[in-house]
Amino acid sequence: MRDVAVLGVGQSEFGKFPERTIAAMGATAARAAITDAGIDASELQAAFGSRVYDATITSQTILKDLGITRIEMVNVENACAGGSTAVRSLYKDIAAGYIDVGIAIGVESMTTSPIAGKLIPPDKDDLDGQLGLTMPVLFALQAQRLMETHGATPEDFARISVKAHDHGALNPMAQYRKQFTVEEVLHSRMIADPITLLQCCPNTDGAAAVVMTSADFARRYTDTPVRIIGSSLTSGGYSFHRADLTNFELGARAASEAYEQAGIGPEDLDVLEIHDAFASEELIHYEDLGLCPRGDAVGLLRSGATALGGRIPVNPSGGLQSLGHPLAASGVRVIGDITNQLRGRCGDQQVPNAQVGLAQMLGGVATGLDAGAASVHILARPMRKDSTCCKN
């Protein structure tokens, strides 16, 4: 298999824009990624688009206005891991040599989606869903369990939201550039005990795109391409039908597969962008991703290691909490943000001298259908001839 590089990244503004079409937001992100890559749009050989709601012909609709047609276009779906699935599909096609250059796009209009203004509508065949097992409830069950098993407190969960908003306040693309105190987070409206409003990701419209190429192609445009050194996608249970609510088994498996391919471990990471639809889940991911031993997530959080300025910053972008969560866009956006970290282009949010980063996303069905997807990508900073930062 061939080496694959991320050559350009782009994002539309994240926020509530019911007047903006999928095509318009997607084209904004795609144009930005193509411009950033420095290629001509006519060089693209394939496109992978992702959108959770009304996915029909998404890539084609977005790219038509850029004059991109007559190439292979695939629209993929995997809930919140849909954007990551588009990235991985493109990665596989380039690594296998089917194509040299392509684009992955994630887009969502949550304000005009079928679930706008509603709780996620339960499947009529799904008893759990009909009884009210929605996403906030699932994550609240997990948070309650973390309080029992890990000694986590409501203040810990609030601190994760405070951290996300501290980071997001520095991000010009974020939906909410506002800081909060632990007290403010705890006293915002209760959604599902212990999760309060300010510990939930908002409803967001927006798009993200990445242009990816073979390493050989990338060298025509830059001496220092960011490489994807690990890529995984797997499936598994997502709901509460499992022995231990304090981990996502599919997420841990996705991580170990990506580490194995990359030939590195969590101790080699400098920065992460991960799924934090609800603040409390970040603790679970710390352990599933191996950032600390099982049971030590609360300690890792309290140490400040995962905040900007700490040893291993998590979600310096502001994460889903502050930056926003246009579902399928998020899995592409995390690849873009890690790429920018490794290129040293993140301004006030920059993790100094970041060399290796990880982008993770997982999603699925909260209810008794209990089915999900998890994806991990590991990216490495431009390699120079004397560099030995990674084993592979």
167, 275, 325, 377: the active-site residue: 325
Residue holding tokens 């969560």?
Answer: 325
Supply the minimum distance, in Å, between the C-beta of residue 133 and a copy of itself. 15
CB atoms under 10 Å from CB of 386, counted, come to 5
The smaller minimum CB distance to a copy of itself, of residues 234 and 246, is found at 234
CB atoms under 10 Å from CB of 151, counted, come to 11
Residue 201 a catalytic site member: no
Supply the minimum distance, in Å, between the C-beta of residue 43 and a copy of itself. 16
Supply the minimum distance, in Å, between the C-beta of residue 302 and a copy of itself. 33
The smaller minimum CB distance to a copy of itself, of residues 133 and 174, is found at 133
Interacting residues of 292 by C-beta distance below 8 A, sequence separation 6+: 286, 299, 300
Q: How far apart are CA 201 and CA 197, in angstroms?
A: 8
Contact assessment for residue 191 and residue 135, using Cβ atoms and an 8 Å cutoff: no
Contact assessment for residue 218 and residue 225, using Cβ atoms and an 8 Å cutoff: yes
Q: What angle do CA 329, 330, 333 make, to 5 degrees?
A: 85
DSSP strand pairing (226-236 vs 190-192): unpaired
Residue 325 a catalytic site member: yes
- Check residue 379 for interaction with a copy of itself (CB under 8 A): no
Residue holding tokens 């390699």?
Answer: 383
Residue of 29, 365, 378, 379 that binds a copy of itself (CB under 8 A): 365
- Check residue 114 for interaction with a copy of itself (CB under 8 A): yes
Q: How far apart are CA 387 and CA 229, in angstroms?
A: 15
80, 200, 201, 292: the active-site residue: 80
Of residues 144 through 203, those in contact with a copy of itself by CB under 8 A are none
Q: Which of 83, 82, 102 is nearest to 92 (CA)?
A: 102
Maximal C-alpha separation, the chain? 59
Residue of 103, 191, 369, 380 that binds a copy of itself (CB under 8 A): 369
Of residues 38 through 97, those in contact with a copy of itself by CB under 8 A are 47, 52, 55-61, 64, 69-79, 85, 89, 92-93, 95-97
DSSP-derived secondary structure letter, 314: B
Supply the minimum distance, in Å, between the C-beta of residue 123 and a copy of itself. 8
The smaller minimum CB distance to a copy of itself, of residues 85 and 204, is found at 85
- Check residue 261 for interaction with a copy of itself (CB under 8 A): no
The smaller minimum CB distance to a copy of itself, of residues 96 and 116, is found at 96
- Check residue 372 for interaction with a copy of itself (CB under 8 A): yes
Supply the minimum distance, in Å, between the C-beta of residue 332 and a copy of itself. 15
> Catalytic residue numbers?
80, 325
